[in-house]
Structure 1
Amino acid sequence: MDLIGRILIAALFVTGAVQKALAPQMVEGLLGGVSLPGWLIWPALGLNLLLAAGLLWPPTVRAAALVAAGYCAVTSLFHFLPQDGWQMSIFVKNWAIVGGLLVLAASRRA
């Protein structure tokens, strides 16, 4: 079960990287909305792929889960748009993912 769960969570980060690669304008728009440069999409794409790999490789699961939880917490702020129900659902989903990642990290031995 642990491996299946890690594969499913890793898939979120892989699809996030693919989405950034295929449609960077959306993320660049979110970055621009908070006065950050659009080029940050590329390090974020790389981080998404590293996190996915880290969640799959047993020795790095705990560290990857902790970093991924922080990443999801920070990126959730881009979606905190109370007037937009769709963005708020993404905001809440990010925090649910943070919770799952923290449980995963806690279940691994340090």
Structure 2
Amino acid sequence: MRQWRDWAVLTGRLLLSVLFLGGAAQKISDPGPAMALLTMRGLPEALLWPALAYNLMAGLALVLGWRMMPVALSLAAYCGATSWFHLQPDDPWQMTIFVKNWSIAGGCLVLAAYGAGRFSLDARR
């Protein structure tokens, strides 16, 4: 049973990392949509670059299983905060993203509580 759990935690971390690494890649390749969301909420477009760096670093930390509690807690907060950009009740697609952000935050909280698992840098410490 333990081996299944170890593989499940690794798979979960990798699947979560796809979201954040993909977000970084999307911001690099086509920054316009993310910049539009920022300006729509009255924020400077330049915030895109720290968000890109955070997505990249947090995604890599998920892949490696490094410092999982603080990383996963920060990702949960990040998902909660960025859900605000998608709170557009007249747009069903944006509302789906809004709810998805909160669901991802929940997964990150579970990861923060239970750790990165055996296949991680954290397990080597």
- TM band (smaller chain): over 0.9
Aligned position for 2:18? 11
TM-score by length of 1: 0.94
Q: Which has the higher contact order (CA 8 A, sep 6+)?
A: 2
Residue 24, structure 1, aligned to residue 31, structure 2: yes
Residue 56, structure 1, aligned to residue 63, structure 2: yes
* Dislocated runs of 4+, deviation >4 Å: none
Cα distance between partner residues in 1 of 2:86 and 2:66: 32
| Range moving further from structure 2, 48-57 or 79-88 | 48-57
Gaps of 5+ in 1: none
Cα distance between partner residues in 2 of 1:87 and 1:107: 30
Gaps of 5+ in 2: 1-7, 117-125
Cα distance between partner residues in 2 of 1:56 and 1:68: 14
CA RMSD of aligned residues (A): 1.2
Percent identity at matched positions? 47
Structure number with bigger Rg: 2
TM-score by length of 2: 0.83
Pairs aligned (count): 109
